[in-house]
């Protein structure tokens, strides 16, 4: 952790105890992550890999089964008073603006809600106007008495963002912030998030399926697979020279990607049944193609778990084969964690 670290997760685990007949789900299964002040980190990975669970845990909405969340140098406490104070400083922006806005509340009420919950004693109207304006809804007074159904999808998302900004947070966690929007509106909302970082020094964790979005907005990327971060680094490094076969597969299906898309075989990941060895091994195209065998790591792929990646700001991949390529003289694959 450095002085400029705002948020960090240390060996974070979240296990959901199984309903009758099903095992417990290790939705987050050992994650180290840091977010610097003013930094935007994209958390990417396919559906069900644990992105939302991790985001909710970082926000204090979910209590970790193990590990720790630290914000501004202090470990998170889970008593209701500490959590309320914490939620003043970190704000969640959800994927579906229609779902996060009450259709019977005006824009003014929606944005003022957070101020009222936190007992804000200043000039409420001025604060709501400022937040709407920062979110690009200008002049703000024009929007005060509007209802969500009278707005476009992009405007609704801006109202949700204004509702987060009104409390002057230091960190925004945006879970699929533009997934439900048209491409043109998407660009506008992304530009807004970037300008908020520029103007207010806001940090953001942006959760997304979309690697293109990560490219446009983030400084760093963390790629998640089955509860773990399997690759992390700067956007340029991870997206132009991915080390982990899973990241390579995700990138290969982008429309602009060269070559053939990698079709992942095997069962979709299930956090109630995390395979032994490398958790990606049953679907790994590198193992299937015999490349891991040629590198002498195929046994390790099938039998040796990989260490949890550290939270350092360097490029790392949790993969026996990638590790062998980086240091070909290494005597064996990475030790089990
Ligand atoms: N409250 C819960 N109880 C039991 N299992 C849960 C619970 N919440 C999430 N899960 C399981 O944990 C895993 C991770 O879910 P999560 O919602 O974090 O994934 P995600 O990466 O956000 O997926 P998506 O991209 O579809 O939003 C899934 O298998 C999910 O079914
Ligand atoms: S460790 Fe082996 S199975 Fe896992 S991603 Fe790397 S090459 Fe594939
Ligand atoms: Mg999710």
- CATH for 5-223 (2.40.30.10, 3.40.1280.10, 3.30.56.10, 3.40.50.300): 3.40.50.300
Confidence of residue 189 (pLDDT cuts 50, 70, 90): confident
Atom number of ligand 2 nearest to Cα 302: 3
Average pLDDT over every residue of 305-322: 94
Residue with CA at minimum distance from ligand 2 atom 1: 319
Q: How far is the CA of 114 from the centre of ligand 2 (A)?
A: 45
For residues 151 and 160, give the distance between their C-alpha atoms in angstroms, rounded to a whole number: 12
Query: What's residue 336's pLDDT?
Result: 40
Model confidence at 104: pLDDT above 50? yes
Model confidence at 67: pLDDT above 60? yes
For residues 221 and 216, give the distance between their C-alpha atoms in angstroms, rounded to a whole number: 11
The answer to whether the Cα torsion of 154, 155, 158, 159 is positive or negative is negative
Model confidence at 112: pLDDT above 60? yes
Average pLDDT over every residue of 266-294: 93
Please tell me whether the overall predicted TM-score, pTM, comes out greater than 0.85 for this model: yes
Q: How many helices and strands in the chain, by DSSP H and E? A: 14, 11
Query: What's residue 304's pLDDT?
Result: 97
Query: What's residue 331's pLDDT?
Result: 44
For residues 19 and 12, give the distance between their C-alpha atoms in angstroms, rounded to a whole number: 22
Q: How far is the CA of 199 from the centre of ligand 1 (A)?
A: 34
Model confidence at 3: pLDDT above 80? no
Query: What's residue 128's pLDDT?
Result: 98
Tell me which of 242, 279, 292 to substitute to probe ligand 2's pocket, judged by most ligand atoms within 8 Å of the beta carbon: 292
Q: How far is the CA of 303 from the centre of ligand 1 (A)?
A: 26
**Locate tokens 């935007």: which residue?**
40
Ligand nearest to the CA of 275: 2
Average pLDDT over every residue of 185-212: 87
**Locate tokens 């104070």: which residue?**
85
Q: Which helix (H) or strand (E) holds 67?
A: strand 66-71
Residue with CA at minimum distance from ligand 1 atom 6: 16
Ligand nearest to the CA of 227: 1
CA torsion, ordered 112, 82, 169, 237, to nearest 10 deg: -140
Contact between residue 170 and residue 202 where contact means Cβ atoms under 8 Å apart: yes
User: What confidence tens digit (pLDDT) does each residue in 24-39 have?
Assistant: 999 999 999 999 999 9
Is residue 324 lining ligand 2, measured as CB closer than 6 Å?
A: no
SS3 state of residue 222: strand
The more confidently predicted of residues 77 and 184 is: 77
Query: What's residue 96's pLDDT?
Result: 66
- What are the domain boundaries of the chain? 5-223, 244-326
> Average pLDDT of the chain?
90
Residue with CA at minimum distance from ligand 1 atom 5: 16
Residue with CA at minimum distance from ligand 2 atom 3: 281
Ligand nearest to the CA of 333: 2
The more confidently predicted of residues 332 and 99 is: 99
Percent of the residues in the chain that have a pLDDT greater than 90, as a whole number: 72
Query: What's residue 97's pLDDT?
Result: 67
Q: Which of 311, 216, 281, 247 is nearest to 44 (CA)?
A: 247
SS3 state of residue 316: strand
What angle is formed at CA 311 by the lines to CA 308 and CA 317, rounded to 5 degrees?
55
Query: What's residue 250's pLDDT?
Result: 93
| DSSP character at residue 152 | -
Query: What's residue 71's pLDDT?
Result: 97
Give the range among 258-262, 279-283, 302-306 with minimum mean pLDDT.
258-262
For ligand 1, residues with CB inside 6 Å are 16, 25, 27, 45, 47-53, 209, 271
Percent of the residues in the chain that have a pLDDT greater than 70, as a whole number: 93
The more confidently predicted of residues 95 and 281 is: 281
Model confidence at 274: pLDDT above 90? yes
SS3 state of residue 29: strand
Q: Which of 270, 209, 327 is nearest to 23 (CA)?
A: 270
Atom number of ligand 2 nearest to Cα 285: 8
Ligand nearest to the CA of 23: 1
Average pLDDT over every residue of 120-126: 97
Atom number of ligand 1 nearest to Cα 56: 18
For residues 14 and 54, give the distance between their C-alpha atoms in angstroms, rounded to a whole number: 8
Q: Give residue 38's Cα distance to chain centre.
A: 16
Question: What is the spatial order of strands in the sheet that 228-234 belongs to?
Answer: 90-93, 171-175, 203-208, 40-44, 220-225, 228-234, 316-317
Confidence of residue 16 (pLDDT cuts 50, 70, 90): very high
Q: How far is the CA of 48 from the centre of ligand 3 (A)?
A: 7
Average pLDDT over every residue of 189-215: 88
């Amino acid at each position: 952790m450095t002085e400029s670290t705002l948020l960090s997760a240390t060996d974070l685990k979240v296990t959901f105890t199984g309903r009758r007949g099903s095992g417990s789900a290790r939705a987050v299964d050992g994650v180290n992550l840091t977010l610097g002040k003013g930094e935007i980190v994209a958390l990417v990975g396919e559906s069900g890999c644990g992105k939302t669970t991790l985001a909710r845990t970082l926000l204090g909405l979910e209590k970790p089964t193990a590990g720790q969340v630290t914000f501004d140098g202090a470990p998170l406490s889970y008593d209701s008073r500490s959590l309320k104070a914490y939620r003043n400083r970190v704000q969640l922006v959800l994927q579906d603006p229609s779902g996060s806005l009450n259709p019977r509340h005006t824009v003014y009420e929606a944005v003022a809600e957070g101020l009222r919950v936190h007992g804000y004693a200043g000039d409420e109207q001025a604060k709501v106007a400022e937040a709407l304006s920062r979110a690009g809804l200008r002049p703000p007074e024009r929007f005060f008495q509007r209802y969500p159904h009278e707005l476009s999808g992009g405007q609704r998302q801006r109202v949700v963002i204004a509702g987060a900004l009104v409390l002057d947070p230091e960190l925004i966690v945006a879970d699929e912030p533009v997934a439900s929007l048209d491409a043109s509106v998407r660009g506008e909302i992304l530009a807004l998030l970037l300008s908020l970082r520029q103007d207010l020094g806001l940090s953001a964790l942006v959760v997304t399926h979309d690697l293109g979005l990560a490219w446009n907005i983030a400084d760093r990327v963390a790629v998640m697979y089955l509860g773990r971060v399997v690759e992390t680094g700067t956007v340029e490094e991870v997206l132009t020279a991915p080390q982990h076969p899973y990241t390579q597969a995700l990138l290969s299906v982008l429309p602009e990607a060269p070559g053939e898309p990698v079709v992942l075989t095997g069962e979709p990941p299930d956090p109630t049944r995390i395979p032994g060895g490398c958790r990606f091994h049953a679907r790994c195209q590198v193992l299937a193609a015999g490349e891991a065998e040629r590198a002498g790591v195929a046994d390790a792929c099938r039998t040796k778990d990989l260490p949890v990646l550290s939270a350092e700001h360097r490029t790392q991949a949790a993969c026996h084969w990638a590790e062998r390529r980086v240091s070909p003289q290494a005597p064996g694959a990475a030790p089990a964690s």
